[in-house]
A and B are shown apart, each in its own frame.
Chain A
C-alpha cells in the first residue's frame, strides 16, 4: 500500500518534470552535477533542477520499497534468488566499469542497485512466501522498477525522447501492478470484496477490459504527446483551429507556427502532432462512451460502486484534458491530467482483476491474476 502511494507520488513527480520541461535539467546520471545523488548541495536545488532531482530521490525510495516488497512477498525463499541477482548486478556493474568505461553511468547504477538487493537478501525473514500469483507480481515489480530506473537514466544520458515515452508508459504499468498488489494484500481482498452479487460477470468483465484497454491507449497517446516538446499542437477545444478536423497541409502548418508565441516550449508543431492530439480527443470520446455502457450494464450489481468511481475519474479526466487546452497547458492542470489518468487506469485494472472471479470463487483459491490489464 505504502509502495503504491509512493509510486503515485513518483508518477506525479514525473508528470511535474515533463510539465515543466525540466527532464534534462540535471545533465548527468546517476550523479547529479558530479555529486553523489544524495549529497547534492542545496544551492543547486532551484528551478528545473529541483523537480528533476526530487524525482530522482523519490524514485530511489520507491526502488527501495519495491525491493523490500519483493522480499516480503517472496518470503523466506526469496533470499537465494535475491542474493544471486544482487551479486550478479554488482559484478555486471564492475564489469561495465572495467570493459566499457564509456558506459560508467550504467555501471554505477548497476552496482548501486545490486548492493541494495544484496542487503535485502540479508534481511532475516521467517515468513513463508505469499501465494504464487502474488509472489510473481512481486518479482515482476522488482524487475520493472529496475528497468524503469535504467530507462529514466538512459533517457538523460542518451538524449532520446523515445526512451522518455517508454519511461512514462512503463511508469503507468508499474503503478497499476503495485496497486494490484496492494489490493491483493489488503484487508479488503481477504474479507468482503469478492462476495458480490453479480448477474452477468462475463459481460461485465468484457466491459472492464474494453474500458481499461481504451484508457491505456489514451495513456500511450498522452505519453507520446508529452515527449514531443511542442506544447499544445491545437489550442482550441472543442473545435480544432476553428474546425472539427483541422487542416494539416504544409501551408496551414506554416501559418499555425508563424502565429504561435510560446514561452517554454520551442519545437514547431507538425502534422503528426496535430493528428496525435486529434486521436487523443477521439479516444477520449470512445472512453466516455464505453464507460457509460459499462455503467449501464453494472447497474444494480455488486461492482456498481467501483464502476461509478471509474466513471467519476474518467469524467474528471476528460474535464482536465479540456482544461489543459483552455489553460494553455498550465503545469498543474497538465500534471493533474497525468495523475488522474493513472488513477483511472488503475481503477479499470482493479475492476478487471476482481471481476473474473467475482462471487464464483472464494478469495483463498488461487486466482490467476490479471497482471496488467493493459496487456490485453
Chain B
C-alpha cells in the first residue's frame, strides 16, 4: 500500500516536472523588402450576389505587413517533429465562408484535427480541398446556406494545402497540416508563441505562402526557460 502510493507520487512528480520544464518558443517574423501591391478582387465585386456583401472592393491579403515589417500569416513550426500529434483531442479549427471569402485564409492545424467549415453566406459554396501529399484525399462537397458545418481532417502533414470554391473562383484558404502541436501562426504584430515545447535542440522554420513557401530555418535550444527565435524573411 505504501509502495503503491509512493509510486503514484513519483509518477505525479515526474509528469509535473515534465510540464514545468516544457517551455514556450517566442519570436517575431519580419519582412524585409517591398511586397507587391495587393489586388482588388474584381470578379467578387462584379458578382451579382457576392458583390452585394461588400461595400468596398475587397482585395487579396497575401502580405499583411506592419509598419516595421511585422509579417502576419507566417507559420512557424518545429521541423522534423512527427508522430506527436494530439489532433484527435484538439479543439476543432473553424474556417468560415463569409462575404464569399474564406476566413481566415491562412490556417494551421494538426494531423487528425477537425476543421469545421461554416457557411455564413446566404449562397451556396462548394468546399473543394486539393491536397498533394499522399494520404490526404481530395474532396469536393457542396454546402448550401444554413446547412451544417462540414468536418474535414487530414492525416498527412502538408504545407499550404489549398481549399477552394469553384462557384466563386477567387475563394481560397490555405491550410498547413502539422504532425505535432508545436506550431503557431503569426498575428498582425508578427509575433508567435509555440507553447509547451519539451527541452531540447530543434530546427524551427518560418513559412509564408508567398515570401518563403519552403521555409526559413533556424537552430535553437529550448531550455526550461524557453527560447526565442526571430526571423527576417527577405524579399528579393
Contacts and interface: CB of A to CB of B under 8 A. Distances in A.
B221 interface: no
Q: Please report whether the interface of chain A is mostly helix, strand, loop or mixed according to DSSP.
A: loop
A27 B141 contact: yes
A264 B60 CA distance: 10
Given A27-B141, A255-B236, A261 B169 contact: no
A24 B126 contact: yes
B158 to A, nearest CB: 14
Contact-residue size bin, chain B (C-beta under 8 Å from the other chain): 35 or more
B166 A159 contact: no
Interface string A249-276: 0010011011111111011100000000
B167 A46 contact: yes
Interface string B114-137: 000000000110101010000000
A42 to B, nearest CB: 13
Contacts of B36: 258-261
Nearest to B214: A254
A47 B170 contact: no
Q: Which of A25, A49, A52, A262 gathers most chain B CB within 10 Å?
A: A25
A37 interface: no
A21 B165 CA distance: 10
Contacts of B48: 46
A194 to B, nearest CB: 48
B184 interface: no
Contacts of B35: 258
Contact of B128 (A27, A33, A46, A257): A27
Contacts of B170: 263-264
A258 B214 CA distance: 12
A44 interface: yes
Contact of B213 (A21, A46, A261, A268): A268
A348 B64 CA distance: 51
Nearest to B41: A263
B37 A261 contact: yes
Size category of the binding interface on chain A: 20 to 34
A21 B166 contact: yes
B154 interface: no
Given A25-B126, A47-B47, A258 B210 contact: yes
Contacts of A52: 166
Interface centre among B62, B126, B235 (most CB of A within 10 A): B126
B164 A25 contact: no
Contact of A22 (B47, B166, B210): B166
Nearest to B34: A259
Nearest to A259: B36
Given A47-B167, A48-B167, A263-B60, A27 B126 contact: yes
Interface of A: 20-28, 33, 44, 46-49, 52, 159, 251, 254-255, 257-264, 266-268
19 contacts: A21-B166, A23-B166, A26-B166, A27-B128, A27-B142, A46-B48, A46-B49, A46-B123, A254-B236, A257-B213, A258-B35, A258-B210, A258-B211, A263-B39, A263-B42, A263-B44, A263-B60, A266-B162, A268-B213
6 closest A-B pairs by beta carbon, nearest first, are A25-B166, A27-B140, A24-B166, A264-B169, A21-B169, A159-B138
